[in-house]
Amino acid sequence: MVEVKITLKDYDYHKPTWCPGCGDYAVLLALKKALVSLQIPPHEVVVVSGIGCSGKISDYVKSYGYHGIHGRVLPTATAVKIANPTLTVIGAGGDGDGYAIGGNHFLHVMRRNPNITYIVMNNMIYGLTKGQTSPTSLPGFKSGTSPYGSVEGNIEPLYIALSMGAPFVARGFAGDPKRLTEIIAEAIKFKGFAFVDIFSPCVTFNRFNTYDWFKQRVKYIDENGPYPTRMEALKAIADTWAQDKLPLGIIYREEGLPTYEELLLKSKDTVPVYDDITSDVWKEKVKQIIQENFV
C-alpha cells in the first residue's frame, strides 16, 4: 500500500479576500500547516465558521466546511462531532461572533467538553461591519460608533475559559506564525475541548491595536509548560496583565476527561452518521423515545 503524504497544496483552496496585511492570513496558514504536520487528510476535517471576516476561513481550507449563522459556531461544531466522532472538527470565528452573540454557547460548550478545537481570531473590533467596538475592545478605544472612547470594560477570554472548565486553554499571535502553528497543532491533537484565542490584527479599521502594538506587549508565559492548576494559570494571567503585558502560550492543559460525544454515545456501537435512517427505522426510534421519556 502506497502511503500518501499530505502537503499544504492539499489544503489550498479559494484565494482569500481579506484586506492585505490582515492577521487572519497568518491564522489560515498556521491552521493548514498544523493539519499537514499532523498528516490529517482533508476529507477527515470539517471547519465550521461563523459571521465576520474570520467566518470566511471555512471557504479557504480545502476540507469539508460549514458557514453557519451569527454566533452559532459551537453548537454546529458539536453536532458535527456527535454525528461523526471520527472527524477532526475545528470551529473558527472572531471576537464578535464568539464572545458577543455567541458568548452563551462559549460558556456551555466548555462544561460539555466535546472533542473539538475552537479558534477565535481576536482583533478587538468588528471588522466586517467597519469598526465597532467588540467585547475585547479596551476601555477608551475609539471607533466609528464610539468617537469619544468606549466606556465599557473588556473581557479576558482566557479567564472565562479557565473558570468554565475548559481543559485546554491557549493563546497565539498572528505576528508569530511559527509558534502559532505549534499551538494550533497541539490543540487539534488534544482530546477534549481545545480553546485557542489568537490576536489577529485588523489593519483597516483598528489602527490602534497594530502588529507593533501587540509585539511590544505580548509575553509567553508557558516557558515551563502549561500551569498544573487552574488557579495558578489564572494568577499567571492576572500577573501578566498587571505588568501591562498580554499573555500567550499553552496556558492550561488537563488530560483524561471524558468527552461529550463519548458520554452521549457510550451505549451505541456505531457512528450515528452511518446509522440506517429509513422511514421505518426512524418511526421506531421516535416511538422508543416517546415510550422512554413521556409515557
d(CA 292, CA 295): 7
Q: With bands split at pLDDT 50, 70 and 90, how would you rate the model's confidence at 138?
A: very high
Supply the pLDDT for residue 289.
81
* pLDDT of the residue at 146: 87
3-class SS string, 153-208 = CCCCHHHHHHHCCCCEEEEEECCCHHHHHHHHHHHHHCCCCEEEEEECCCCCCCCC
Domains, in order of start, for the chain:
8-266 (3.40.50.970)
Q: Are strands 168-173 and 88-94 parallel, antiparallel or unpaired?
A: unpaired
The more confident residue out of 291 and 273 is 291
- Measured CA to CA, the distance from residue 244 to residue 121 in angstroms comes to 21
Report the predicted TM-score, pTM, of the whole model to 2 decimal places: 0.92
State the pLDDT at residue 293.
80
pLDDT at 63 over 80: yes
Query: What is the mean predicted confidence (pLDDT) over 173-187?
Result: 99
Q: What is the pLDDT of residue 203?
A: 96
Assess whether pLDDT exceeds 90 at residue 280.
Answer: no
How far apart, in Å, are the Cα atoms of 269 and each of 94, 262, 265, 274, 292? 37, 11, 8, 11, 20
φ, ψ of residue 196 in degrees (nearest 5): -130, 110
